[in-house]
Amino acid sequence: MMERPVADLPPSAWDVIDASRRLSRRLATRLDEALEELEISYAQFEILELLTRDRNAHAAAIARRLHESRQIVSRLLLKLDRAGLVELLPPDGGVRVPLVTNNGARRIRYATEATAELRAKIAEVSPERLRAFLAVVASLEDALRPPPGRPWWFG
């Protein structure tokens, strides 16, 4: 019996996991490198950017949106506050809402410029392939969603 060439075999789950990790690491590294001169991490930029779209976001809401723990997001918000990029308003009903400062808005503009080359590289991939990629990611997210009633961080 003749063996099938490796290219004819369907990708294994480990192939998908490995490819996902490689892309995630490469993106994170390139984003952090692009933002290094601005003295801001991609995680901090992501929070600032999210705050410009949702002015009522608080640490727990940001954590849910980014699939991070509330403690990690709270620590990042404190760093952004100390850097003068957000202002943590006094607690209202136990919740502190961060507001992006003028310095934070300026840093977002600089960070957007700093990541332009990376975003342009991604845009070089054909729209059809990008749509297919996003469809595959959505399918995998659906397949890996935790069962109802379990917190996202549990599964």
Task: Kindly report the CATH number assigned to the domain that includes residue 87.
Answer: 1.10.10.10
Query: Is residue 107, in this structure, part of any structural domain at all?
Result: yes
pTM of the predicted structure, to 2 decimals:
0.76
Which residue do the tokens 């994170």 mark? 28
CB 50 within 8 A of CB 44: no
Query: Is residue 151, in this structure, part of any structural domain at all?
Result: no
Q: How far is CA 116 from CA 19, 25, 73, 120, in A?
A: 24, 19, 25, 6
Domains in the chain, number: 1
Query: Is residue 64, in this structure, part of any structural domain at all?
Result: yes
Q: Which amino acid is at 23?
A: L
Range of the domain at 81: 30-144
Query: Is residue 46, in this structure, part of any structural domain at all?
Result: yes
Query: Is residue 96, in this structure, part of any structural domain at all?
Result: yes
Strands (E), 13-125: 86-88, 98-100
Query: Is residue 152, in this structure, part of any structural domain at all?
Result: no
Per-block mean pLDDT, blocks of 10 residues, the chain (155 long)? 66 94 95 94 92 86 89 94 93 82 95 96 97 96 83 58
Q: Which amino acid is at 116?
A: A
